[in-house]
Structure 1
Amino acid sequence: MVNQNYLFTSESVSMGHPDKVADQISDTILDFCLQHDPKSRVACETLVTTDYVCVAGEITTTAPLTRTVVDKLVRGIIREIGYVDPTIGFAADTCQIECKLHSQSPDISVGVDGGGAGDQGMMFGFACEETKSLMPLPIFLAHRLVENHAKLRASGKLNFVRPDAKSQVTIEYKPDGTPNRIHTIVLSTQHDESVVEVKKKKKVFSDKAREEILNTLIIPTLKAERPDLVDAKTKFHFVPVGESGKKYPSDVILCHINPTGIFLE
């Protein structure tokens, strides 16, 4: 048990982040297979880079998953995410799609016909009472920020942001493990050139755009969830990539859960 307040940070990526785009493409392939064949076994991996998508893996299914269908599914989800402008280097109608899906290895298939389990792992997290969703507060708020980022982009209320974004939320906790205040919010987002201005010979995010994101996205999101934890000392950082700022205190490090899934005290 620590005897002073400590900080804990979680991050979340938006639906347009390359890793999340890849996840959604794989999920779309899986959904299609299960829709047509509930007994499908799908190990689908997706790689996404500039104007290129590669879908690969081993699948056992009776679903009509042809290369044409894969192409249609992939372009459909990319379009739904919001990548429709070829000038930014990735768009639904112009990207190259390579399909390397094939039937599951006979050795693996025979081994799992009875039990149904394969060589895939199941990941798990933990629940707590910090939020109604039973998720820890930092990751809950980080998810809400990128979720609302996508909604405001789609509605046109923040028409200068693009699909790729990431949020980080740092909560200051009391020694007994209860949230004390929201310490820092970081939001990094793709954006149009229209909100870029030059200061001291450097291109920076305009003050007007910062205020718009703060007042349209961040403050409403935080106040809708935990208004009691926002105070005058809460720090807000926008598109901090390449900027060198003051590091957060690291005198006390407390792990709620480590990458292996083992709980620590």
Structure 2
Amino acid sequence: MKLYSNEIVFRGHPDKVCDQISDALLDAFLSGDSSSRCGIEVMGGKGRIFITGEVTSATKVDVESVVMRVLKEVGYINGDNAENLTPSGTLADFEIVNNLGVQSQDIALGTNDEVGGAGDQGMMFGFACDDNTEYKPTAMVIMQEFSKFYDELRQKDSRFLADGKTQLTGEYDDDMRLIKIKDWTISYQNTETDRAETDQILIDKAREIAGKYGVEVEKFLVNPTGKFLIGGFMGDAGLTGRKIVVDSYQSFAPVGGGAFSGKDPSKVDRSAAYKAREIAVDYLKRYNLHSCE
């Protein structure tokens, strides 16, 4: 028997907000010019958002409006509860520093030819397993389903705020099949209103999701520090690419050194990682494997 832990962060986690801003800006540039070259990095904290990196594109993007749209979508600007996420919940409270520059001409030499070469070297991995129809470890699928549920819940119930993360420690057999969940930790930002009720809502949903996959949960730890009211960029700093393990295969397979977010397809950190995953799934199905790496 083995014990493995894996985690996922919610959309309002500071690092994941930076990822989403990077990707939203990338999408905006690519939608106007599909040949755009982008490597966009974001750092946020204490009411300030710093955007840097390289962009070469024929299209113009209103960076500030894209950033504000993402902040609204993830719940950082959220009506009566916004004081817990920003200094006072108004758009003006965010100072946005746009430090984007153009792609290095030296890098462009390798990407702008007819072949369309890679903008860098890197380590990329692909993984798949036959645990379920998504070809991902069951614990990963459980975490992803729970995170999606939480994002939908906080949009309907104002007691649940944007920031948070969840982690489980599972017991596995020698073939890395999940037997049961020993501990499930849920850390979620909330208004501290009806805490017993909001905790129970999350516990009940967690048991339901795990039960779909025939997995029992032994113990829950919900906001184990006792309180989680201050969150988002007021609670912690965020940085693009700091959750690459969460975004990839968590504790179940090797993860490359480069982040995905904010990078166009010429950046192999992203495109080659996606291709490696496609190859792993293809080999898994073609040769009837338990797992492929």
TM-score w.r.t. the length of structure 2 is 0.71
Alignment match, 1:229? 215
Whether 1:214 aligns to 2:203 is yes
Alignment match, 2:24? 28
Whether 1:173 aligns to 2:157 is no
Alignment match, 1:15? 11
Cα drift, residue 50 of structure 1: 1.6
Alignment match, 1:127? 128
Q: Could you tell me whether the CA contact under 8 Å between 1:141 and 1:169 is conserved in 2?
A: no
Matches within 5 A, 1:83-98: 83-85=76-78, 86-90=82-86, 91=89, 93=91, 94-98=93-97
Matches within 5 A, 1:1-265: 5-65=1-61, 69-85=62-78, 86-90=82-86, 91=89, 93=91, 94-114=93-113, 115-119=116-120, 121=122, 123-156=124-157, 159-195=158-194, 206-215=195-204, 217-223=205-211, 225-226=212-213, 228-230=214-216, 234-241=218-225, 256-259=252-255
Q: Distance in 1 between matches of 2:24 and 2:38?
A: 11
Q: Deviations over 1:202-222 (max 9, x none)?
A: xxxx4333223212x322322
Q: Could you tell me whether the CA contact under 8 Å between 1:56 and 1:101 is conserved in 2?
A: yes
Any stretches of 5+ residues in structure 2 without a counterpart? Answer: 228-250, 258-290
TM-score w.r.t. the length of structure 1 is 0.78
Q: Could you tell me whether the CA contact under 8 Å between 1:83 and 1:92 is conserved in 2?
A: no
The structure-2 alpha-carbon separation of the partners of 1:239 and 1:80, relative to structure 1 and needing over 3 Å to count, comes to same
Bigger helix fraction: 2
Give, as a single letter, the amino acid of the residue that structure 2 aligns with 1:62. Answer: A
CA radius of gyration, larger in: 1
Any stretches of 5+ residues in structure 1 without a counterpart? Answer: 196-205, 244-254
Give, as a single letter, the amino acid of the residue that structure 2 aligns with 1:230. Answer: E
Q: Distance in 2 between matches of 1:39 and 1:27?
A: 16
Q: Could you tell me whether the CA contact under 8 Å between 1:52 and 1:96 is conserved in 2?
A: yes
When the two structures are aligned, how many residues end up with a matched partner? 229
Q: Could you tell me whether the CA contact under 8 Å between 1:54 and 1:98 is conserved in 2?
A: yes
Q: Could you tell me whether the CA contact under 8 Å between 1:51 and 1:89 is conserved in 2?
A: no
The structure-2 alpha-carbon separation of the partners of 1:189 and 1:148, relative to structure 1 and needing over 3 Å to count, comes to same
Percent of matched pairs sharing the same residue = 31
